[in-house]
Amino acid sequence: MRYLSRIIMAAICLIALGGIASAGWNEPSVRVSVDKRGALIGDKITYVIEVNSPKGVQVELPKFKNGKAGDFEIKDSGATQEKKFFGGTRYKNWYALAAYEPGKYKTPAAAVRFRSAKTDDWKAKGLNQIEVTIDSVLPKGKTISDIKDIKPPIQPFSINYWLVGSILAALAVAWSAVTSYIRYKNRLPPRSPYEIAVAELEEAKVMLNASSDIKEYYVKVSDSIRRYIENVFKLRAPEMTTQEFLGSLQAAGQLPAEYKGLLKEFMEACDLVKFAKYLPVKKEAESVLVTARNFIDGTKGFLEEKVKEKR
């Protein structure tokens, strides 16, 4: 009888334990923690939510919105899941939290939701709140007295437009004066008819050495001498024939006889190539260039005297 009673008591205990197990097997365990309970303004505090879920239980961890977890700002976060050896899953979410005002704070009031795979009803377990103290970076009891408030933004109406306009006008006048002075210093004196003729004959020499069109070369040499004399005596007769040009020159002022004959011979030689299609050899072409240079070198002083007399 005594053994029978013991057997009955043992059976009752087993039934009770089975009932408890059957009633609570599907509820996950929830744990929250922080790595420190005190920090300075802006320091990060690691907040961890850890859930151990049995097999066949679906779990949803809390979701924080807008980068906030209660009164804290979320600076970083991460999540892991790990399958357990005897079945079930371990969930671990961590958050790097920070606060920017000194005082007492509590970790967020949130809940973990869960349900059995056999039902559609969700249950929830609230998270324990942990108190955290945020201290100022300044020593306790010390006040700040040397920090000045920022100045307000400059309003458009506070700008002195007369002053700005005067400065801009002064800068414009100074710029104009500087550029005018530079132009004046760099200004080259006008070239004389002699200098112009020498430069044009040098260009003709380049044409001859480059084996350019012989007719263009003769036109270049002839026109340079024409312009040289026209610039000195102020003749305006670009369409004149050689004879008309020489006659006009005779009326403007008498050249020495040797230069008059030299000029006539030179211009007639040019006309042969320009109008009679005569093809001179290179030595003849070189001779014409030498004659033209001798003419302007020899008459330079004479023509300058004529110009002075006219003035």
pLDDT at 304: 65
Does the residue 20 lie in any domain?
Answer: no
pLDDT at 6: 66
**Helix 193-209 with 214-233: angle, nearest 10 deg:** 180
Residues 287-298 as b or e (16 or more Cβ within 10 Å = b): ebbebbbebbee
Same domain, 104 and 208: no
Same domain, 199 and 177: no
Same domain, 94 and 114: yes
Same domain, 61 and 82: yes
Does the residue 147 lie in any domain?
Answer: no
What CA–CA distance (Å, rounded) separates 147 from 117? 61
Q: Which of 34, 30, 31 is nearest to 98 (CA)?
A: 34
What CA–CA distance (Å, rounded) separates 41 from 58? 38
Does the residue 17 lie in any domain?
Answer: no
For residue 266, which phi and psi values (nearest 5 degrees)?
A: -65, -45
Q: Give this prediction's pTM.
A: 0.41
Same domain, 203 and 177: no
Same domain, 167 and 115: no
Does the residue 13 lie in any domain?
Answer: no
Same domain, 198 and 302: yes
pLDDT at 20: 41
Same domain, 304 and 201: yes
Same domain, 173 and 211: no
Does the residue 78 lie in any domain?
Answer: yes
Report the CATH number at residue 92. Answer: 2.60.40.740
Does the residue 8 lie in any domain?
Answer: no
pLDDT tens for each residue of 53-102: 888 888 888 988 888 888 899 989 999 988 887 788 999 999 999 998 88
Same domain, 109 and 35: yes
Same domain, 301 and 225: yes
* pLDDT tens digits in sequence order for the chain, 311 residues long: 566 666 766 666 555 444 444 444 478 989 999 998 888 888 999 999 999 988 888 888 898 888 888 889 998 999 998 888 778 899 999 999 999 888 899 998 889 999 987 888 888 888 888 999 998 887 766 665 656 667 666 665 567 778 888 999 999 999 988 888 787 767 767 788 888 888 999 998 898 888 778 889 888 998 898 888 888 777 765 567 888 777 777 665 656 667 777 888 888 888 888 888 888 888 888 889 888 888 888 887 766 666 566 55
pLDDT at 16: 47
Does the residue 36 lie in any domain?
Answer: yes
Tell me the β-bridge partners of 72. Answer: 69
Report the CATH number at residue 292. Answer: 1.20.120
For residue 49, which phi and psi values (nearest 5 degrees)?
A: -115, 120
What CA–CA distance (Å, rounded) separates 50 from 276? 113
Tell me the β-bridge partners of 131. Answer: 106
Provide the domain count of the chain.
3
Dihedral sign for Cα 150, 152, 158, 164, please: positive
How would DSSP label each residue in the chain?
A: -HHHHHHHHHHHHHHHHHHHHHHHTTPPEEEEEES-SEEETT--EEEEEEEEE-TTEEEE-----TTEETTEEEEEEEEEEEE-TTS-EEEEEEEEEE-SS-EEEE----EEEEEETT----EEEEPPP-EEEEE-SSPTT----SPPPPPPPPPGGGS-HHHHHHHHHHHHHHHHHHHHHHHHHHPPPPPPHHHHHHHHHHHHHHHHHTT--HHHHHHHHHHHHHHHHHHHHT---TT--HHHHHHHHHHH-PPPHHHHHHHHHHHHHHHHHHHS-----HHHHHHHHHHHHHHHHHHHHHHHHHHHHH-
What CA–CA distance (Å, rounded) separates 255 from 267? 15
pLDDT tens for each residue of 183-225: 776 776 778 888 888 899 999 889 888 877 888 988 899 889 8
pLDDT at 35: 92
Same domain, 229 and 169: no
Domain membership of residue 35 as a residue range: 27-135
Does the residue 230 lie in any domain?
Answer: yes
